[in-house]
């Protein structure tokens, strides 16, 4: 079980809650379970969500494991120059 924090706009489509307890071993499973629970999140996942695990931001490595007790924060996937 990991605790996941969603940024403001995303929490609006996740029942208005910023913090969620989810049983997920990696980013892929986290996204799948969030989408199952809150279908409104799916378009956001398609558009791109970055996952900060203990402060390190992962954008594409969906196989990245979510260590128990890690701080997990979902962020918008951003553009760079």
Partner 1 sequence: MNFDPRFSGRQFASVGTRPIRPDGVDKVTGRARYGADFNMAGQLVGRVLRSPHAHAVIKKIDTSKAEKLAGVKAVITAKDLPDLTDGDAAMYDILDNCMARKKALYDGHAVAAVAAIDARIAREALKLIEVEYEVLPHVTDVDEAAHHHAPLINDQIFTEGLEEKPAKPSNVTKRTQFGHGDVHAGFAKADFIVERSFKTEQTHQGYIEPHACVASVNPDGTADLWVCTQGHFVYRQHCAQLLGLEASKLRVTSSEIGGGFGGKTHVWAEPVALALSRKAGRPVKLVMTRDEVFRASGPTSATSIDVKIGASKDGTITAAEATLRYSCGPYAGSWAEIGAMTAFACYKLENVKTVGYEVLVNRPKTAAYRAPSAPMAAFAVESAVDELAHELGMDAVDFRIKNAAQEGTRASYGPVYGPIGIGPTLEAVKHHPHMKAPLKANQGRGMACGFWFNFGGQTCTDLNIGMDGSVSLAVGTVDVGGSRASLSLVAAEELGIDYSHVKAIVADTSSLGYNDMTDGSRGTFSSSMATISAARNAIKILKDRAAQMWDIPVDDVVWEKGHAIAKGEKYGNLSPLSLKDIAAKSGTTGGPIAGHSELVADGAGVSFATHICDIEVDPETGATRVIRYTVVQDAGKAVHPTYVEGQYQGGAAQGIGWALNEEYIYGKDGRLQNAGFLDYRIPVCSDLPMIDTQILEIPNPNHPYGVRGVGETSIVPPLAAIANAVSNAVGVRMTHIPMSPPRILAALDAEREG
Residue from 12, 17, 36, 65 in contact with partner 1 (CB under 8 A):
12
Residue from 3, 36, 60, 65 in contact with partner 1 (CB under 8 A):
60
Query: According to the binding rule CB under 8 A, does residue 58 interact with partner 1?
Result: yes
Buried b (16+ CB within 10 A) or exposed e, 1-19: ebebbbeeebbebbeeebe
Residue from 1, 23, 56, 68 in contact with partner 1 (CB under 8 A):
56
Residue by residue, DSSP assigns 18-65 as SEEEE--SBHHHHHHHHHHH-GGGHHHHHH-EEEEETTEEESS-TT-B
Query: According to the binding rule CB under 8 A, does residue 45 interact with partner 1?
Result: no
Query: What is the contact surface with partner 1 in residues (CB under 8 A)?
Result: 5, 7-9, 12, 47, 52, 54-61, 64, 71, 73, 75-76, 78-81
């Amino acid at each position: 079980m990991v605790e996941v924090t969603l940024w403001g706009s995303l929490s609006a489509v996740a029942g208005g809650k910023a913090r969620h307890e989810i049983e997920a071993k990696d980013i892929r499973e986290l996204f799948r379970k969030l989408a199952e629970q809150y279908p409104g999140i799916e378009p956001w996942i398609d558009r791109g969500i970055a996952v900060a695990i203990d402060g390190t931001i992962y954008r594409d490595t969906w196989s990245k494991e979510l260590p128990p007790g890690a701080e997990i924060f979902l962020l918008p996937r951003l553009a760079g120059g």
